[in-house]
Amino acid sequence: MPAQVHERDTVTIRIAGDSGDGMQLTGDQLTDTSALMGNDIATLPDFPAEIRAPQGTLPGVSSFQIQFSKHEIFTAGDAPDVLVVMNPAALKVNLKDLQKGGLLIVNSDSFNEDNLKKAGWSANPLEDPAALRDFSVLKIPFASLTKNALAESKIKVSEMDRSKNYFALGLLFWMYGRTIDHTIKWTLDKFSKKPDIAEANIMALKAGYNYGDTTETAPARYVVPKAEIRPGKYRKITGNEATALGIVAAAQLSGKDVLYGTYPITPASDILHNLARHKNFKIKTLQAEDEIAACGAALGASFGGQIGITATSGPGVCLKSEMINLALMAELPLVILNVQRGGPSTGLPTKTEQSDLLQCMYGRNGDSPVAIVAPSTPSNCFEYMIEAIRIATKFMCPVFFLSDGYIANSSEPWHLPEIEKLPKFSIKHPTAADGAFFPFLRDEKTLARPWAVPGTPGLEHRIGGIEKADKTGNVSYDPDNHHKMTELRRDKIRRIADDIPPVEVFGEPSGKLLVLSWGGTYGTIRAAAVEMRAQGKKVSHCHVNFLNPFPKNLGEILGRFEHVLIPELNMGNLIVLIRSQFEGVRATGYNKVSGQPFKIREIITQVEALL
């Protein structure tokens, strides 16, 4: 009897196993296929800092959560409907998140004494009726089924176990009515130099699919219809990919070459990996000896008249701070990408957090204002990256691009922009001086100084970190001049507010409660607001992408609400800026630092407490 087919609006699946079990690959494939089948998707990869933590242990667990839906969705879902675990450790770490009544699929082969002990189970939960009674449990011996399926393949028996994730993927594809074609194509391409492995993986994938089809193990099949989303061309994108593409696009739009100076650091390195492949766009990538040199190389390129970009995460920003101040003092463009992770110090390298806002705002000696831009979704990293570069080159100043581990690694469908409609921005360099050249003579509107580049005859000049005299740029220790220059540097950053769009309010423009957010928490908070408003609750949401300066209308908006709730994945960063810049705002923080994004439920609970 064929399995019953049910229609669902949305499904959240989490797959978890050892970090060597290929969970990220499996999740990526599920994502790609769901996107290609027209669902809206959102993902949440979660992996350990160790590349291969000891097998079977709790720290070695890697997981990937995906929500696919027929509606527009903002997050990868609070709690999975389906949890697939490849070993007892993955069960131990993830079971608490599975919805009551949810489906648990277990690789029963791995529940042996040794693995159970490593994961800290005193008894085998699969044999304990109480342990899993809240869930439907499907025990499937993935490892042995895979081994049987690969009996005819050319790979060694010892290697067969590594294809078991493909078996599980095949089963999931069958359960959710997905096709296996895309994964087959991708696998052939990915393992083109190892055809035996490609063949084995595809055999396992098909075996998993057929297992679902021919046995009657699975309780049901589910169909998630196509989402009703805006027509157009889409691709799947992660934040780091969109950031890299934003850099390429900004180079094209401004007609400039880019030098991307960086030092490997999680979770920013993928941007380097992406860019290093795009050298034909005249992108030079330079892997420096350390974070400082990476920033120095970017600044050197900027002095030379090109777009200098450096990327890192919080610990790297600590090291680059002196160089950022030099860029600020020399008034050269510099774009600093900070893909935030859990801190302080080494902190939680692979987990997300938003705790570097005040570091970027204030973490340098002297009065040192810089611009700060923060994307809020994986795909809008593209437009905010372009914006960061545009501001840096227009205002001749350092600009932080403040992404985070969550949006950097998560993916979503990206409604591709029309290339022709992307805003071009021109960058001008003076070519000759009539009479004396004044390297610190400012543009009246932006207060930016001229970007005269080496190689231009007649404009030879010297810049540096010592205080400069206004206009001439000569070294000056004059007290009044220092005061004036400090004000000019501050005012220049303030004037960026004239160059950015006003912020918008979702919901009523005034009222009792406004939720104010920034950065990667956008999806969760907007989803919470949508859900609550659908229930008739009066809550508005405002999300800022420009953190310094703030959009000009922000103060006025805040003043229209009795209470402002500021949820942040830190102990209170934005709230400090709000309180210091807007008097009389009644702001309450909601703070979480667990290395995980907010859940929609958590936000709703906080909002309800204030309504």
Partner 1 sequence: MSTPTIVPPPTAPVGTPEQPRYKKDDFVSGQDVRWCPGCGDYAILSVMQKTLADHTKTARENHVFVSGIGCSSRFPYYMNTYGFHTVHGRAPSIATGLKCARPDLTVWVITGDGDGLSIGGNHLIHTLRRNVDLNIILINNQIYGLTKGQYSPTSEKGKVSKSSPFGSIDYPINPLCTAIAAESTFIARTVDMDPRHMGGILARAMQHKGVSFVEVYQNCVIFNKDAFQPVVGREHRDDRAIYLEHGKPLIFGKNKDRGIKLNGLKLEVVDLTAHPEEQANLLVHNELDPNPGYAYLLTQMTYPDMPVPFGVFRAIQKPTYDDMLTDQVDFAVAKKGKGDLKQLLFEETWEVGENG
Q: What six digits make up the tokens of 131?
A: 């342990």
Q: Which of residues 274-293 bind partner 1 (CB under 8 A)?
A: 278-284, 286, 288-290, 292-293
Which residue's CB is nearer to partner 1, number 101 or number 457? 457
Is the omega angle on the peptide bond into residue 502 within 30 degrees of 0, that is, cis? no
**Out of 259, 500, 525, 607, which residue is the one contacting partner 1 (CB under 8 A)?**
259
Three-class SS state of 257: coil
CB of residue 330 vs partner 1: minimum separation in angstroms? 7
Q: Pick the closest to residue 105 from 174, 20, 41, 14 (CA basis).
A: 14
**Out of 103, 248, 575, 593, which residue is the one contacting partner 1 (CB under 8 A)?**
248
Q: Which of residues 325-354 bind partner 1 (CB under 8 A)?
A: 326, 330
Which residues are paired to 302 by β-bridges? none
Helix (H) / strand (E) element for 139: namely strand 136-140
Which residue's CB is nearer to partner 1, number 297 or number 493? 297
Helix (H) / strand (E) element for 610: namely helix 600-610
From 103-111, 149-157, 323-331, 443-451, span contacting partner 1 (CB under 8 A): 323-331
- In three-state form (DSSP H/G/I as H, E/B as E, the rest C), the secondary structure along 53-103 is CCCCCHHHEEEEEEEEECCCCCCCCCCCCEEEECCHHHHHHHHHHCCCCCE
Q: Which of residues 453-472 bind partner 1 (CB under 8 A)?
A: 453-466
CB of residue 335 vs partner 1: minimum separation in angstroms? 13
Q: Contact 319/292 with Cβ under 8 angstroms?
A: yes
Count of residues that interact with partner 1, criterion CB under 8 A: 71
Q: What six digits make up the tokens of 433?
A: 């001086």
Q: Contact 73/99 with Cβ under 8 angstroms?
A: no
Distance of alpha carbon 409 from alpha carbon 431, whole angstroms: 43
Distance of alpha carbon 87 from alpha carbon 163, whole angstroms: 15
Distance of alpha carbon 40 from alpha carbon 26, whole angstroms: 18
Q: Which of residues 475-494 bind partner 1 (CB under 8 A)?
A: 475
CB of residue 125 vs partner 1: minimum separation in angstroms? 40
Please return the burial class of 91, using the count of CB atoms within 10 Å of its CB with bins 0-12, 13-18 and 19+.
Answer: buried
Q: Does 252 bind partner 1 (CB under 8 A)?
A: yes
Q: Does 139 bind partner 1 (CB under 8 A)?
A: no
Q: Pick the closest to residue 398 from 304, 300, 500, 329 (CA basis).
A: 329
Q: What six digits make up the tokens of 67?
A: 């929500």
Which residue's CB is nearer to partner 1, number 204 or number 249? 249
Helix (H) / strand (E) element for 337: namely strand 334-340
CB of residue 292 vs partner 1: minimum separation in angstroms? 6
Q: Does 433 bind partner 1 (CB under 8 A)?
A: no
Q: Does 435 bind partner 1 (CB under 8 A)?
A: no
Q: Pick the closest to residue 465 from 368, 609, 610, 577 (CA basis).
A: 368
**Out of 8, 10, 36, 188, which residue is the one contacting partner 1 (CB under 8 A)?**
36
- Residue 543, C-beta contacts closer than 8 angstroms, at least 6 positions apart: 376, 503, 506, 516, 517, 518, 522, 525, 526
Q: Which of residues 392-411 bind partner 1 (CB under 8 A)?
A: none
Q: Does 296 bind partner 1 (CB under 8 A)?
A: yes
CB of residue 147 vs partner 1: minimum separation in angstroms? 33
| β-pairing verdict for 511-518 and 540-544 | parallel
**Out of 141, 177, 264, 300, which residue is the one contacting partner 1 (CB under 8 A)?**
300
Which residue's CB is nearer to partner 1, number 289 or number 444? 289
Which residue's CB is nearer to partner 1, number 272 or number 323? 323
**Out of 226, 273, 429, 586, which residue is the one contacting partner 1 (CB under 8 A)?**
226
CB of residue 314 vs partner 1: minimum separation in angstroms? 20
**Out of 11, 73, 249, 408, which residue is the one contacting partner 1 (CB under 8 A)?**
249
Distance of alpha carbon 309 from alpha carbon 527, whole angstroms: 33
Residue 472 CB neighbour total at 10 angstroms: 15
Q: Does 27 bind partner 1 (CB under 8 A)?
A: no
Q: Which of residues 167-186 bind partner 1 (CB under 8 A)?
A: none
**Out of 3, 8, 10, 38, which residue is the one contacting partner 1 (CB under 8 A)?**
38
Q: Does 474 bind partner 1 (CB under 8 A)?
A: yes
Torsion of CA 518, 520, 521, 526, to 10 degrees: 90
Which residue's CB is nearer to partner 1, number 290 or number 556? 290
From 9-17, 127-135, 338-346, 452-460, span contacting partner 1 (CB under 8 A): 452-460
Q: Contact 147/63 with Cβ under 8 angstroms?
A: no
CB of residue 191 vs partner 1: minimum separation in angstroms? 18
**Out of 141, 177, 304, 315, which residue is the one contacting partner 1 (CB under 8 A)?**
304
CB of residue 172 vs partner 1: minimum separation in angstroms? 20
